[in-house]
Amino acid sequence: MLLELEDSQLLLVDYQGKLMPVIHEGPGVLANARRLAQMARLFKLPTFATEENPASLGATVPELQALIAQAGGKTFAKMSFSAVADGLAELLRPPARAPQGNARSLPKHLQKSAQPASERNTIVIAGCEAHVCLLQTALDLLDDEFEVWVVTDACGSRTERNRDAAFDRLAGAGAELVTTEMVAFEWLRSAGHPAFEDVLQVVKAGA
């Protein structure tokens, strides 16, 4: 099974100013998060970021926040470790749109039913800490019947053991574990894709 571009959304979890300095291999983790945000902009993917208790942990690091903004992304502040517990799923899977106009004034056969929202069921997720907010958010997304793809080289915890334990648990729960470059080339599928050269530059910049 390959990652489907048309079904994907990108979710970046808690890359915050007071957290990233203590993350194991933090600079590399953040660099891959930046690459994901750049690719989301090139592919015009829905992009979301979360911030855990931003009053204490700070906002998303500025260089990543700028890329998320360029991708047209939305930032979601939360207090629960799982962003789903605070309502994120409603952003990822919007409710059907209500019919427009004065439907009651029309004969029943002419009334338009509610329009289903554009639904993308695959969540490409990365973030910190892998064993806390990333893990709990991803498990709740799986429970909500999203397909969850965890970008391992863009995830981090304060310790390597905690990070790896999170990956083991996520794989056992049914998440797909991938890397940033796997995501890039599965979204592309072909060197003939219009975004190929631009995405290749993003990949090479992180090599």
Q: ∠ CA(40), CA(43), CA(48), 5° rounding?
A: 30
Give residue-wise pLDDT tens across range 106-146. Answer: 554 445 444 344 589 999 999 999 999 999 999 999 999 99
- Closest residue by Cα to residue 125 from 18, 2, 32: 32
Give residue-wise pLDDT tens across range 22-72. Answer: 999 999 999 999 999 999 999 999 999 999 999 999 999 999 999 999 999
Complete domains list, the chain, with CATH: 5-93+119-205 (3.40.50.850)
Helices (H) and strands (E) in the chain, counts: 8, 6
Give residue-wise pLDDT tens across range 147-183. Answer: 999 999 999 999 999 999 999 999 999 999 999 999 9
CA-based radius of gyration for the chain: 18
pTM: 0.88
**Taking all residues of the chain, what is their mean pLDDT, rounded to a whole number?**
90
Beta strand 176-178 pairing with 147-151: parallel
